[in-house]
């Protein structure tokens, strides 16, 4: 028995009933009204005094309360006609101490107008929910297929063919390649061509998420797991990707503490949310990618060997742009089509000289750098043809032959066969080459020093030190 109820005054209880259910009636096993509130009586056009202790069939038109009181069968959301109006009624059997003693009835909507108003409110909420659900699902779909991977060079074709062959497999894939080579496009294409294509594709950049947030992002957390935790908890990306694929970009930057937790998920196919006690089963195909030398990292103890073997089931190496220069013209054409949509332009083309200059560049930033160069050119372009003058300075100044001299030096040598070539100390030459490489990487990374350091494959600290050394800001 709930002793707390007995301390509430009767009038309070009556008001609570009126507030919780606007129109309510209670009958006994014989169908006699034992309680009815004033709101229901007002709806019926009578009074509480006139309705009490009368048979419910005499007071409420088309009622079935007496039937529910006999059968004990709930009737939910039934349409009932009263006073020429269709209302929605709910009827529940009253069972006390295991015995059927009567029935409880409530009126949810007094007329069709009330129901339509309620339906209109709910409908708008449902439409909003559907919109965000479609948007969320669209974000979790692969955006590229193998048709979007442009290139005919032997090394690239071999990588693409291997990726196509293994896309139907369930095994983990490790994509290796320098920054900007298109590892994420390969991951999208593999998922798009797999048996999991109808399920989510969830990309995550392991290097962009702070270490203390990475676990909650990957595996989620329970309600109240830590201060500031979202009420009701949060699903992790592995749980969101269930039955689909998860793309762990820059997996080589994952902290060692997280590597062991990732290994457990891959081995056991289950995870535990932060603050949770129960294990959650997940079926996810992992596609990982990195520009780092994982073999070397394993030797140095910076990457777990057992995790490396788990990820390195199928290894695909994507060649850098400098090793597939015959593809630059076709890749540029594809990127121009993409940029035409972005800039609302049409018919953009490259001049023959620009194509030659693009093919001679070493592209430390790979396809990402190429796209940046083309976007920069479109921003300063008046017509439709991109000429050398529209290219960044470091591309304009490079010679169009295979020599090691600048244009000025080449002209000097050509004008006098007897001219002597000045010999510089090797230290000075190396210093100049290093400085030029740093300037080129910053140009390719649009001034982002962290990205430029990645392009040169040196640490961020080392890069900053060199910038200070050469007075580069």
Reported as a single tens digit per residue, the pLDDT across 158-214 is 999 999 999 999 999 999 999 999 999 999 999 999 999 989 999 999 988 888 889
- Compute how many other C-beta atoms are within 10 angstroms of the C-beta atom of residue 433: 10
Domain end, chosen from 263, 295, 319, is at: 319
Is 3 within a domain? no
Domain end, chosen from 289, 304, 319, is at: 319
Examine the domain organization and report whether 342 and 308 are in the same domain: no
Is 157 within a domain? yes
How many residues can be counted in the chain? Answer: 473
Residue that is written with structure tokens 């339906």 in the block: 119
Which token pair is 253?
């930057």
- Compute how many other C-beta atoms are within 10 angstroms of the C-beta atom of residue 458: 15
Q: What is the pLDDT of residue 413?
A: 39
Examine the domain organization and report whether 30 and 96 are in the same domain: yes
Is 437 within a domain? yes
Examine the domain organization and report whether 291 and 346 are in the same domain: no
Examine the domain organization and report whether 244 and 328 are in the same domain: no
Residue that is written with structure tokens 């594809």 in the block: 334
Beta bridge partners of residue 23, listed in sequence order: 107
Examine the domain organization and report whether 438 and 311 are in the same domain: no
23/39 Cα distance (integer angstroms) = 5
Is 118 within a domain? no
For residue 398, give every residue at least 6 positions away whose Cβ sits within 8 Å of its Cβ, in sequence order, or none: 357, 360, 361
Examine the domain organization and report whether 90 and 208 are in the same domain: no
Q: Read off the CATH number of the domain in which 216 is found.
A: 3.40.50.300
For residue 300, give every residue at least 6 positions away whose Cβ sits within 8 Å of its Cβ, in sequence order, or none: none
Examine the domain organization and report whether 50 and 168 are in the same domain: no
Q: What is the pLDDT of residue 135?
A: 61
Is 212 within a domain? yes
- Residue range(s) defining the domain that contains residue 82: 13-113
Q: What is the pLDDT of residue 411?
A: 39
Tens-digit pLDDT profile for residues 335-369 = 999 999 999 999 999 999 999 999 999 999 999 99
Q: Read off the CATH number of the domain in which 71 is found.
A: 3.30.450.20
Examine the domain organization and report whether 329 and 265 are in the same domain: no
The answer to whether residue 80 scores a pLDDT higher than 70 is: yes
Residue that is written with structure tokens 């609302």 in the block: 344
Is 355 within a domain? yes
- CA distance from start to end of the chain: 78
Examine the domain organization and report whether 23 and 157 are in the same domain: no
Mean pLDDT in residue range 53-68: 93
| DSSP assigned state of 262 | H
Examine the domain organization and report whether 232 and 306 are in the same domain: yes
DSSP string, 2-15: -HHHHTS-HHHHHH
Examine the domain organization and report whether 353 and 438 are in the same domain: no
With beta carbons less than 8 A apart as the criterion, state whether 248 and 286 touch: yes
Examine the domain organization and report whether 224 and 281 are in the same domain: yes
* CA dihedral sign of residues 393, 394, 395, 401: positive
Tens-digit pLDDT profile for residues 222-266 = 887 776 677 778 889 999 999 999 999 999 999 998 999 999 999
Question: pLDDT higher for 468 or 129?
Answer: 468
106/68 Cα distance (integer angstroms) = 13
- Banded model confidence at residue 82, pLDDT cuts 50, 70, 90: confident
Mean pLDDT in residue range 266-286: 91
Average pLDDT, the chain: 84
- Nearest Cα to 163, choosing from 189, 140, 184, 144? 189
Tens-digit pLDDT profile for residues 397-437 = 777 655 433 443 443 434 444 344 456 666 667 777 788 78
Is 4 within a domain? no
Q: Read off the CATH number of the domain in which 363 is found.
A: 1.10.8.60
Q: Read off the CATH number of the domain in which 436 is found.
A: 1.10.10
Question: pLDDT higher for 2 or 228?
Answer: 228
- Compute how many other C-beta atoms are within 10 angstroms of the C-beta atom of residue 55: 15
For residue 170, give every residue at least 6 positions away whose Cβ sits within 8 Å of its Cβ, in sequence order, or none: 285
Report pTM: 0.59
Q: Tell me phi and psi for residue 463, to 5 degrees.
A: -65, -45
DSSP string, 371-433: HHHHHHHHHT-SSSEE-GGGS-HHHHSS-SSS-SS-HHHHHHHHH-TTPPPPP--HHHHHHHH
Domain end, chosen from 113, 138, 157, is at: 113
Is 460 within a domain? yes
Give the chain's domain count: 4
């Amino acid at each position: 028995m709930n002793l707390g109820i007995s301390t509430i005054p009767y009038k309070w209880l009556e008001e609570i009933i009126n507030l919780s259910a606007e129109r309510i009636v209670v009958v006994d096993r014989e169908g006699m009204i034992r309680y009815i509130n004033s709101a229901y009586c007002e709806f019926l056009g009578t009074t509480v005094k006139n309705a009490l202790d009368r048979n419910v069939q005499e007071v409420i038109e088309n009622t079935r309360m007496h039937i529910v009181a006999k059968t004990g069968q709930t009737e939910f959301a039934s349409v009932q006609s009263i006073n020429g109006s269709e209302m929605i009624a709910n009827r529940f059997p009253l069972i006390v101490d295991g015995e059927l003693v009567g029935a409880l009835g409530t009126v949810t909507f007094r007329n069709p107008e009330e129901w339509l108003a309620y339906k209109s409110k709910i409908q708008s909420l449902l439409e909003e929910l559907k919109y965000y659900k479609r948007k969320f699902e669209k974000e979790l779909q692969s955006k590229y297929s193998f048709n979007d991977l442009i290139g005919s060079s032997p090394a690239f074709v071999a990588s693409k063919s291997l990726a196509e062959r293994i896309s139907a497999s369930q095994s983990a894939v490790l994509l290796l390649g320098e920054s900007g080579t298109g590892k994420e496009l390969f991951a999208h294409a593999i998922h798009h061509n797999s048996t999991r294509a109808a399920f989510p594709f969830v990309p995550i950049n392991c290097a962009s998420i702070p270490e203390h947030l990475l676990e909650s992002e990957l595996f989620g957390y329970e309600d109240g797991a830590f201060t500031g935790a979202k009420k009701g908890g949060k699903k992790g990306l592995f749980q969101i990707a269930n039955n689909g694929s998860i793309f762990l970009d820059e997996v080589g930057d994952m902290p060692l503490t997280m590597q062991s937790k990732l290994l457990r998920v891959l081995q056991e196919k289950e995870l535990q949310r932060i603050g949770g006690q129960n294990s959650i089963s997940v079926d996810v195909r992992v596609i990982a990618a990195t520009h780092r030398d994982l073999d070397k990292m394993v030797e140095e103890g910076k990457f777990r060997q057992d995790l490396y073997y788990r990820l390195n089931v199928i290894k695909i190496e994507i060649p850098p742009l400098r090793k597939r220069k015959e593809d630059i013209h076709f890749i540029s054409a594809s990127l121009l089509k993409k940029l035409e949509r972005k800039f609302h332009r049409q018919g953009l083309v490259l001049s023959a000289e620009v194509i030659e200059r693009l093919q001679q560049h070493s592209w430390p930033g790979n396809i990402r750098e190429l796209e940046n160069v083309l976007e920069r050119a479109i921003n300063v372009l008046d017509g439709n043809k991109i000429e050398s003058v529209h290219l960044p300075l470091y591309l304009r100044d490079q010679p169009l032959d295979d020599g090691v001299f600048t244009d000025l030096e080449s002209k000097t040598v050509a004008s006098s066969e007897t001219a002597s070539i000045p010999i510089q100390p090797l230290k000075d030459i190396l210093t100049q080459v290093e400085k030029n490489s740093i300037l080129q990487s910053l140009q390719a990374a649009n001034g982002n020093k962290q990205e430029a350091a990645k392009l040169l494959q040196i640490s961020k600290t080392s890069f900053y030190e060199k910038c200070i050394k050469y007075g580069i800001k």
